[in-house]
Amino acid sequence: MEILYQVIQFFSFAVNIAIALVVYFGRPKARVRRYFVLFSFSIAFWILTLYFFYRLIDPGTVYFLGKLNFVFAELIFYFLALFVDVFPDEDVVIHRRRFLLITVFAAILVYITQFTDLIDKDELIKGAERITVFGPLYSLFVIHAVFFAVYSILRLFRKFRRLIPGDIRRLQIGYFSIGWALTVILAISTQIFIPYFTGNYDFQNFGPLWTLFVVGFTAVAIIRHRLLALKIVASEFLATAIILVYVVEVGYSSTSIELAFRVVGLIITVFVSIQLIRSVRMEVHRREEIERLAEDLRVANVKLQEMSDMKSNFISIASHQLRAPIGGVRAYLSMLREGDFGKLGKKLDDVLDLNLDTLNHTLHVIETFLNVTRIEAGKMDLTKEPVDLCVMTREIYKELALTASRKKIRLVFSCPQKHAVVRADKEKLRNVVFNLVENALKYTEQGTIKTTINVGPKRVEMRVTDTGIGIAPEEVPKLFAKFVRAGGGLKISHGSGLGLYIVKTLIEAHGGEAFVESPGVGKGSTFGFRMLAGKVR
């Protein structure tokens, strides 16, 4: 039995110290960790004094150790009280008055315990047994222990209630409470109540083991949110444990040669362990840094996304507000131009043509922005109806005729005998065709723009071929992406690089495909699309 008790005590002592050190070195400056270390060291030394208390036989020493053991028990409760004041936060300052009150009380109690016989009157030695003769103030010790225990529970309970569900600190308090409850219930039973009521002191030997619950669970609670470092913590723990085993071995050396060997072994182990722990701590710092950077990046991303949404919203609102009035003005100008209000004469007609041209272009740009914001917001609804591509292209040719004639570019259009009907959202398809023809005009300096429509049994294909600047082969595959502007285009005009992206997205939304072909730079190009043929009404 004796061997078992010894193992229990050494094991508990070593593990308590090891856990405390691991937690402490995780973040030495944090208040909660300092109190935790003091708390678990008090426990460890409480165990150590208990060990010698049972093994030494000089009455004076045994009495001294008995009292010292009480003192460490008091320190356990004292540091526990300070610890729960900070925990589960890492670094809050304890209220000054509360700190003073607890400290003064603990100091008085420690003084009374160690230097008077009011609490521990005497320790009688009966072989392996020790019998405590309680002093008149022993009940003060018991009351103080119960009081501090209840105080800790209430304090943590209040903190727990104030935290909102889902807060990780609630979980930390939970961990601590479980460990704490296990330890206190078992310890009070074996250390105080069983000896007090039955006079059986054997169970006191198990006391040290119970402390591992509170220390272990609390350690997990403190370092829980750094689970990343678990491997690292384990290696620190291992190193500490090996050192402790060596220390014990040194203590047990029987010859001086053995002692010398073990001391050398200990020194090497300490040296290697320190190196290991150092590198491990650097690793922790690095990982923490990476975690912090990742978090920064996440926050920045969220902000960017918010800004992007705001921008899309803004463009959407602005475009809506612009589209209606400009559309209205265009309608009136068209009526004027068509002579609905009487003949105006060539000069005014020319002015009107110019204005209509500008308005068409502006409306088209607005439509482009609106389409992009709709696509980005995932809110693109298609209202499909049969649309005759020939009719639509003729209208667009008419709108762009002025620009073409100013650049002296010939617009050619060949429509098949049959109707070229597709089922599509009329406005969106118009945007597509307009984009293609307008681009052809934009990127052609002279020559012809020829639009052909081929109606197959299942599919309708539209091709807009120009004699313009053409496209380098390596740029062809990129053109339909958002904000892409190819080399040739950049020199010729200002643009957003959105037009072809919209063409592709809209055509694909209709189940079709957009394409581009070019024999090379300076050799013109063909842009177009294919989609399912619709039925003629």
Considering only 84, 411, 433, 440, the residue that binds ligand ADP (CB under 6 A) is 440
Task: Kindly tell me which of 169 and 482 has the beta carbon lying closer to ligand ADP.
Answer: 482
218 within 8 A of 171, measured Cβ to Cβ: no
> Using the rule CB under 6 A, is 500 a contact of ligand ADP?
yes
Question: What single letter denotes the amino acid at residue 136?
Answer: P
Q: Is 207 helix (H, G, I), strand (E, B) or coil?
A: helix
Which residue from 343, 356, 514 is spatially nearest to 439, judged by alpha carbons? 514
Distance set, CA 299 to CA 197, 203, 296, 303, 479 (Å): 61, 55, 5, 6, 32
DSSP 374-439: HHHHT-----EEEEEHHHHHHHHHHHHHHHHHHTTEEEEEE--SS--EEEEEHHHHHHHHHHHHHH
CA distances from 265 to 256, 269, 468 (A): 14, 6, 85
CB of 473 to ligand ADP, least distance (A): 13
Rounded least distance, CB 485 to ligand ADP, Å: 3
By CB under 6 A, name the one of 479, 506, 531, 533 that touches ligand ADP: 479
Q: Which two tokens stand for residue 222?
A: 């403190």
| Residue 57 · residue 125 · CB < 8 Å | yes
Site string for ligand ADP, 391-430 (x = CB under 6 A): ----------------------------------------
Q: Is there binding between residue 233 and ligand ADP (CB under 6 A)?
A: no
Q: Does position 468 bind ligand ADP by CB under 6 A?
A: yes
- Of residues 43 and 370, the one with the C-beta less far from ligand ADP: 370
As a whole number of angstroms, the distance between CA 219 and CA 172 comes to 10
Contact 67, 121 (CB under 8 A): no
Q: What angle do CA 276, 280, 282 make, to 5 degrees?
A: 120
Q: Which stretch binds ligand ADP (CB under 6 A): 115-123, 196-204, 389-397, 468-476?
A: 468-476
Q: Choose the stretch contacting ligand ADP; rule: CB under 6 A; options: 99-107, 176-184, 284-292, 477-485.
A: 477-485
Query: Which one, 74 or 475, has the nearer CB to ligand ADP?
Result: 475
Q: Does 432 bind ligand ADP (CB under 6 A)?
A: no
Residue in 15, 47, 471, 514 binding ligand ADP, rule: CB under 6 A = 471
Could you tell me the smallest distance in angstroms from the CB atom of residue 503 to ligand ADP?
A: 8
Nearer to ligand ADP, 5 or 434 (CB): 434
**Counting contacts by CB under 6 A, is residue 447 touching ligand ADP?**
no
Confirm or reject binding of residue 488 to ligand ADP (CB under 6 A).
yes
What is the DSSP code (8-state) at residue 224? G
- The yes or no reply on residue 485 touching ligand ADP (CB under 6 A) is yes
Cis peptide before 88 (omega within 30 of 0): yes
Q: Identify which of residues 222 and 471 has a Cβ nearer to ligand ADP in the complex.
A: 471
Torsion sign, CA atoms 218, 221, 223, 229: positive
Nearer to ligand ADP, 268 or 490 (CB): 490
Among 47, 109, 421, 469, binds ligand ADP (CB under 6 A): 469
Q: Does 66 bind ligand ADP (CB under 6 A)?
A: no
Question: Which residue in the set 374, 496, 508, 515 belongs to the binding site for ligand ADP (CB under 6 A)?
Answer: 496
- Please give the residue ranges that form the binding site for ligand ADP (CB under 6 A): 439-440, 443, 466, 468-469, 471, 479, 484-486, 488-489, 495-501, 525, 527
